[in-house]
Structure 1
Amino acid sequence: MKKEFVLNRFIFIFIFIFIFILYGFNGWNGDRDAYESIFYSDGSIVVEKGFSWLADKFKGYGFNYQEFQLIISCVSLLLLYSYINKNTNNRNIFLLFYVFCFFPLDYVLVRNFLSFCICLIAFNFLQHKEDKFSFLVLLLVAYLIHQSALCFIIFVFMPLNNVLNLKKYFVFGFISLFVYFFVKDSLFEIMGLKEHFEIYANSVKSAVFNSFVHFLFSISIIFYVLKNNFLNKKDIFIVNFNLISMGFLIFYFESEILIRLIRFVLFFNMCYLSNFIFLKKNWLFCSAYMFFSGCYLFLMFLFPTLELSVYPLIFDNLLFRGVFY
């Protein structure tokens, strides 16, 4: 047992170091030029204040962008490691799924990824310590890195010790939807998102399709958990998380860029299911769910951007350039 533990830990650390090298030493990707421009600008390029502050601090200490990227990649991956280590027994299995399904886009979206990793730690406080104050503080920190973190504020209303009452769920959902339609235009304008959303204009067909996919993935895991009478805190969390995440569906009609929210939902779901993938009565559903999730993530987010995300991951790494060129 001790040898198996040591081997599993070694494999996990090896994968972690490998993806750190892929991210930290990446020399170009689809967003690299934009991030270098932000880093070397004098504040003329407007991004979230937290990220601007970080860039200015590192630049002030004499760091170049590549060194800045090395540190940001290390911090982001350590936060990710912390969440995975705490929330799944099959760390290596989930980390492999993560490497193939999420990582090739995450390393491109530097701000988004760092912000999400901070949100993961916020969810650790919420799920394991029921500390909503720390959850909100960390969400604020994440928001200062990337505004998408604000979407997770709805989870502060999530009950942690019992499954959501469906009557209250629908009443709360209806009221939230009503308020949203009244305040969204003003809110987006105050946050400076209106023009950004127009750049990433969405089609109704795409919004309907991705809303349906999100609904299907969420409702299937909810029924799976309830059917098997899994009622510990992790199970309650994943049921309520998926119920509340359906509030994201309305965002998919606002902008193509907000469809990325489904990636976060699938991250939590796949991490949860990786706990059961080797149990005889659960492996079929878990394997099928993770397989179809992986296919969706690849076809929706990675396949259209292969030359900007997947290929540069290997061919534009500073340590590997001597091998391929």
Structure 2
Amino acid sequence: MISLLFYFMFFVNLFLVVNKKSSKTIASISWVILLFVYGGNIRTGFSDLTYYRQRYYENLNSIIFDDKGYVWLADFFSHKDVSFQVFLAVIFIISSIFIYFIAKKLQCNYNLLILLFSLFYFFYSLEVIRFFIANSIALVAYYWLFHQKRLFFILGMIIAYFFHASIIFLLPFVFFYSIKDGNKKISLLIVVSVFLIVMNLLNGNQSSYLIGLFGPIFNSDSLKERIQFYTGASTRLGFLIYYLYFIFNMVTIYHIRKISYHIENLPLNKLKVVAGVYQQNLYCVIFLPLIMFNVTFFRYIIFTTTLNFVCYAMIFPYLRKSFSKNNNHLVIILSITGFTILWWIMKENVLMFYEALQVNMFN
């Protein structure tokens, strides 16, 4: 039943978007259905959710789940004997509040945003609970950054850090972001990234040279162990597949930016958001050499994808031409479709989430 409702609302939102219409009622109903899907996820077996559930009920300290914000939130509800399924629903509601904040502030088309999120990101969030919260908070932080409130951005990223420490890798973007379209610092970052990619290839795509390169600088055994942990494995040539995601993202935001420049009545603050998201996509180039060692760094490309979705939903209400009459739109649709298809090919096990929903209030 829940699967049918999800698919039905997916196509209803698609119909509205194609016909350039919007309905807050449909968007609200769709979000409620996603809430039940999220809270009804009882997947077991080889899944991060299994460890989240175990940590929730047993209140055990964990190297993996030691983020203070998440631990406090989980323990708060666990000690009150709230079921894990209800806790998942709370996670979704909290994250949704942050997403709704930025969607409302930027006057996004809610139907398009829900449609885009439902392609794959929503299913990704079913597994990565902590990152889902951190990602949602980071979206708001980026909103403040694009409105020239850098201190709010830093504070927002610090809050997100308490839910997933890895989000801190996005914090340096504050030093690279510029309100000017041409950004020499970003260009320098691209050059450094290309250099590191070449170095990785010359060293057989192994990370041992990083220990020798950076170890003496910091003179810390714990830092060496951390570098080894995150870069200890090589993806061989598999990293090329993950580079495709980056390319799809760049194609998407490039054409979003191209469209935005031709919208006469698009407010200046929204043009700045488009420019900022474009720079964030370029900033992700620094993660490409790291993906060669560990595909975990792919999560930053996923975050940037959500920014692209928000950006597209933001400019959508200002568009007049239909999809078929604008080549930029067609390229964006093809790029997002390519990203989605590649995602489901690479993440086949995510399809099991629907199996996890067999036992819930809808059956």
Indicate the TM-score class for this superposition, using the shorter chain for normalisation. Answer: 0.7 to 0.9
CA contact (8 A) 1:79 1:118 kept: yes
1:82 and 2:127 aligned:
no
Taking the aligned partners of 2:175 and 2:290, their CA distance within structure 1 comes to 19
Taking the aligned partners of 1:34 and 1:101, their CA distance within structure 2 comes to 22
Alignment-derived partner of residue 72 in structure 2: 53
Task: Classify the secondary structure of the residue corresponding to 2:42.
Answer: coil
CA contact (8 A) 2:190 2:285 kept: no
Taking the aligned partners of 1:171 and 1:306, their CA distance within structure 2 comes to 37
Alignment-derived partner of residue 127 in structure 1: 146
Taking the aligned partners of 1:242 and 1:144, their CA distance within structure 2 comes to 24
CA contact (8 A) 2:138 2:156 kept: yes
Q: 1:290/1:314 Cα in 2 relative to 1: closer, same or farther (>3 Å)?
A: farther
TM-superposed deviation, 1:196 = 5.0
Coordinate RMSD, CA, aligned: 3.5
Moved more, 16-25 or 45-54: 45-54
Taking the aligned partners of 1:172 and 1:99, their CA distance within structure 2 comes to 32
1:288 and 2:336 aligned:
no
Alignment-derived partner of residue 238 in structure 2: 206
Moved more, 237-246 or 101-110: 237-246
Taking the aligned partners of 1:24 and 1:216, their CA distance within structure 2 comes to 31
Taking the aligned partners of 2:291 and 2:54, their CA distance within structure 1 comes to 29
Alignment-derived partner of residue 340 in structure 2: 297
Task: Give the counterpart letter for 2:236 in structure 1.
Answer: V
TM-superposed deviation, 1:110 = 0.7
Give the TM-score taking structure 1 as reference length: 0.81
Alignment-derived partner of residue 118 in structure 2: 99
Task: Give the counterpart letter for 1:208 in structure 2.
Answer: L
Taking the aligned partners of 1:202 and 1:279, their CA distance within structure 2 comes to 47
TM-superposed deviation, 1:288 = 2.9
Name stretches of at least 5 consecutive residues in structure 2 with no aligned partner: 1-20, 197-209, 263-267
7, 31, 47: which one aligns with 1:16: 31
Alignment-derived partner of residue 85 in structure 2: 66
Taking the aligned partners of 2:48 and 2:176, their CA distance within structure 1 comes to 35
Identity %: 18
Give the TM-score taking structure 2 as reference length: 0.73
Alignment-derived partner of residue 357 in structure 2: 316
Task: Give the counterpart letter for 1:24 in structure 2.
Answer: G
Task: Classify the secondary structure of the residue corresponding to 1:68.
Answer: helix
Residues 188-241 of structure 1 show CA distances to partners (whole Å, capped at 9, x for unaligned) of: 944974565368x44131223423541453266336635874673123223322
TM-superposed deviation, 1:88 = 5.1
Taking the aligned partners of 2:215 and 2:120, their CA distance within structure 1 comes to 32
Taking the aligned partners of 1:192 and 1:65, their CA distance within structure 2 comes to 33
Alignment-derived partner of residue 202 in structure 2: none
TM-superposed deviation, 1:134 = 1.6
1:115 and 2:134 aligned:
yes
